[in-house]
Amino acid sequence: MGNTYTNYNVTTFNDIDLELFLLTEILKLKSLHYGYFKKGEKANPQTFPLAQRKYTKTLLRWIPKGVKTILDVGAGIGDNAQALADKGYHVTAVTPDKNHKKFYDAIKNKKITFVNSTFESFWADKKFDLILMSESQNYFDTDIGFQQCVKNLHDKGYLFVSGKFRKKKNGAFNNVTNLEKEYKQKAKDYGFSLLKEKDITQNVLPTLEFIDTIHREYALPGMQMIDTYIKKHSPLKVKIMKFIFRKQIKEFDFLYNYFKEHFDPDHFKDNLRYLRLLFQYRK
């Protein structure tokens, strides 16, 4: 049996995807994925957008010769799709978020077809040369994902996955549903042979260090300052507010713990690997 998909796979808080909200609304970035850094490079507000573009640039190098049509699963706001289309590929960009359409309308590239759909529900009247999952393979049931790949790929077509995998089963990173070893075995069971693999954990870690710095140096001190001020000047109001907003406080505790877990570089390294995997499908 495959992993069961639940809302916890998507890191939501009051129906907001936390990571997407942080990247687009707080940091004002034009990409939703990690940055790719060389050894020794540090992330800051100036280098991070450049590293995101490098992530996409290095992604394109993995596309095998002969590929013409690409299904971009979980295509986000379209930066990967645009880069692929600029290289001459015909891209079908699939995303379940209807709000992403405005980004594709702005791109105005005839080689990109936008489809507002989950991958589980996606249907096409043609098959593709390659399916790309850039940081999206953890958002749906693994078996259903492979079944959809089989339906939508040409024989000898490719599946290219770039994203996070858990090293072992434990209580950490429950929203990262795929264990590396199990995912590779399941791919084999569905007729996918692994052609190429690369661990780019060290290349993406500065992304976490960057966000963790923002969290520690700006968000936490601000929250602590407000908390100290209110407690000092109106302790009775604090007690009343804690009672009235006890549900919201619980949710904010979850939010705090989420960021503490997911943007701690050492915790990431202990539990996850960020991999690029290129498979080929044979009937």
Distance CA 124, CA 181 (A): 30
189 and 209 assigned to the same domain:
no
115 and 152 assigned to the same domain:
yes
Radius of gyration of the chain (CA): 20
E strand or H helix at 28:
none
Q: Is residue 2 part of a domain?
A: no
197 and 217 assigned to the same domain:
no
63 and 134 assigned to the same domain:
yes
The CATH number linked to 65 is 3.40.50.150
Across 94-103, 169-178, 215-224, 256-265, least confident range: 215-224
E strand or H helix at 135:
none
140 and 173 assigned to the same domain:
yes
The reported pLDDT for the residue numbered 40 is 87
Mean pLDDT of the region 264-272: 89
Range of the domain at 230: 205-265
The reported pLDDT for the residue numbered 230 is 53
The reported pLDDT for the residue numbered 24 is 53
The reported pLDDT for the residue numbered 122 is 96
Q: Which residues pair with 94 in a beta bridge?
A: 73, 115
178 and 57 assigned to the same domain:
yes
124 and 253 assigned to the same domain:
no
DSSP H helices in the chain: 18-21, 47-60, 79-86, 101-107, 142-152, 180-189, 201-214, 220-233, 235-244, 246-262, 265-271
The reported pLDDT for the residue numbered 31 is 61
Q: Does residue 14 come out as left (phi exceeding 0), alpha (psi in the -120 to 50 range) or beta?
A: left
pLDDT reading at 7 higher than 50:
no
Question: Which residues contact residue 77 at a Cβ distance below 8 angstroms, ignoring those fewer than 6 apart?
Answer: 24, 30, 31, 32, 100, 103
138 and 251 assigned to the same domain:
no
The tens digit of pLDDT for each residue in 52-96 reads: 999 999 999 999 999 999 999 999 888 999 999 999 999 999 999
Average of per-residue pLDDT values in the chain: 81
Q: Is residue 174 part of a domain?
A: yes
The reported pLDDT for the residue numbered 184 is 98
CA distances from 183 to 9, 114, 130, 275 (A): 16, 28, 18, 12
pLDDT reading at 160 higher than 80:
yes
| Amino acid letter, 195 | L
pLDDT reading at 201 higher than 60:
yes
149 and 222 assigned to the same domain:
no
Structural domain total, the chain: 2
Q: Say what the pTM is.
A: 0.78
Count of beta carbons in the 10 Å neighbourhood of residue 164? 23
Across 133-137, 233-237, 277-281, least confident range: 233-237
pLDDT reading at 162 higher than 90:
yes
State the pLDDT confidence band at 124, using cuts at 50, 70 and 90. very high
pLDDT reading at 11 higher than 50:
no
102 and 222 assigned to the same domain:
no
Please answer whether residues 65 and 167 qualify as being in contact, where contact means their C-beta atoms are separated by less than 8 angstroms: no
Please answer whether residues 135 and 163 qualify as being in contact, where contact means their C-beta atoms are separated by less than 8 angstroms: yes
